[in-house]
Amino acid sequence: MDGDTTARLFYLLLLLVAVGGYVMVEYRKRMGQALRSFAAWGLIFVGVIAGYGLWNDLRTEIAPRQMISQEGIIEIPRAPDGHYYLTLTIGGTPVQFMADTGATNMVLAAADARRLGLDPETLVYIGRAQTANGMVATARVELQDVVLGPYQEQVFPAWVNQGEMDQSLLGMDYLSLYRVEIARDRMILRR
């Protein structure tokens, strides 16, 4: 433990002693009531923490996802953060991408590359890309069986980014396979 962690633990211990001392003095003749109050507030606290922890999972389940019409038109709703997220199936594995018209290529985050069976540590990073976070090294890969709705690419080039990325990006090399339209809160892709 470093000094900062030790100081925080000491502060929390002092806070616990102060609150515990107050409870002991306030409820000295009513310990049963104190325990019931403590249990009720503990359950409320646990409930709030659980709700916060599950919010992202619930939001993705409740939020509308991409829709594909019988004519092959793909509609992607705008997410609460203002971006458009698409799920492509690559070699049978679903991968979520953020549509990025400012990106030239399809770029995989290291975590998604691993899910697809690529080992980011063994790739050869000979490419360079200028990003919002500066220059990063990239490795070219070829993805097999890339599917979006009724459309399939047998082989499609992508890049694995050696920099920190939370989300894979769907750049213009893939989006240019479609006619892209943004209408109100939807991105519409047609071929």
| Predicted confidence (pLDDT) per residue in 31-66, tens digit | 788 778 878 888 888 888 887 777 655 555 555 577
Same domain, 35 and 49: yes
Same domain, 80 and 174: yes
85-96: per-residue pLDDT in tens? 999 999 999 999
- Place 170 in a pLDDT band, splitting at 50, 70 and 90: very high
Same domain, 78 and 154: yes
Same domain, 102 and 18: no
- pLDDT of residue 167 exceeding 70, the answer is yes
Q: What is the mean pLDDT of residues 164-171?
A: 89
Same domain, 29 and 81: no
- State which residues form the domain around 20: 3-62
SS (H, E, C) the chain: CCHHHHHHHHHHHHHHHHHHHHHHHHCCCCHHHHHHHHHHHHHHHHHHHHHHHHHHHHHHHHCCCCEECCCCCEEEEECCCCCEEEEEEECCEEEEEEECCCCCCCEECHHHHHHCCCCCCCCCCCEEEEECCEEEEEEEEEEEEEEECCEEEEEEEEEEECCCCCCEEECHHHHCCCEEEEECCEEEEEC
Q: Write the CATH number for 147.
A: 2.40.70.10
Q: What is the pLDDT, as a whole number, of residue 22?
A: 81
Same domain, 75 and 58: no
Domain count, the chain: 2
Same domain, 50 and 117: no
Q: What is the mean pLDDT of residues 151-161?
A: 93
Domain boundary among 62, 96, 111: 62
Q: What is the mean pLDDT of residues 57-77?
A: 72
Same domain, 73 and 34: no
> Percentage of the chain with pLDDT > 70?
94
- pLDDT of residue 156 exceeding 80, the answer is yes
